[in-house]
Amino acid sequence: MGIPDFLILGLIGLSLGFFVSSGAAALMIGLGIIPRYAGITRTAGTIQWYENCCILGVLLGSIACLYDVQIPLGTPALAVYGLFSGIFLGSWVIALGEVIDVYAITMRRLGIVQGIQYLILSMALGKILGSLLFFYRGW
């Protein structure tokens, strides 16, 4: 008698889940998102707490996706969740852009020296508008 297939598949799935979640957390830490936030908020002493929260967030997010968890907190909680998710996604985009210096190179090639903050704000507003259209139209 061998080990049942569902146990082997469960062990493989759990192992790969740990692999993906630790990779995502390592990418966030490697891109410097966590140290940057700690520097901006002047809370560098709690950087390990930030890293633990990132790992916990990835783990809980994976569990929520796997088991289709629904938390009945209503529309206000959904709005707060959407706000924090947007901040999180925006942080990733900016961090990735800074890593490859895409913004600096683009601005230099286009000859833009003033108004960069408006350009970044317009990109953020475009992302917001695109997301709202996506969810409103059900694409």
Q: Where are the domains of the chain?
A: 1-69, 72-139
3-state SS class at 65: helix
Q: What is the pLDDT of residue 33?
A: 72
Q: Tell me the pLDDT tens digit for each residue of 8-62.
A: 888 888 888 777 777 776 777 677 777 777 777 788 888 888 878 877 877 787 7
Q: Are 33 and 91 in contact (CB under 8 A)?
A: yes
Give the integer Cα–Cα distance in Å for 132 and 137.
8
* pTM exceeds cut of 0.75: no
Distance CA 62, CA 76 (A): 23
Report how far residue 24's alpha carbon sits from residue 29's, in angstroms, rounded to the nearest whole number. Answer: 9
* Residue-level pLDDT at 49: 86
Residue 99 has pLDDT above 70, yes or no: no
Split at pLDDT 50, 70, 90, the class of 98 is: low
**Terminal CA-CA length for the chain:** 49
pLDDT greater than 80 at residue 133: yes
pLDDT of amino acid 43: 86
DSSP string of 99-123?
A: HTTHHHHHHHHHT--S-HHHHHHHH
The residue among 93, 91, 71 whose CA lies nearest residue 83 is: 91
Three-state DSSP class for 129? Answer: helix
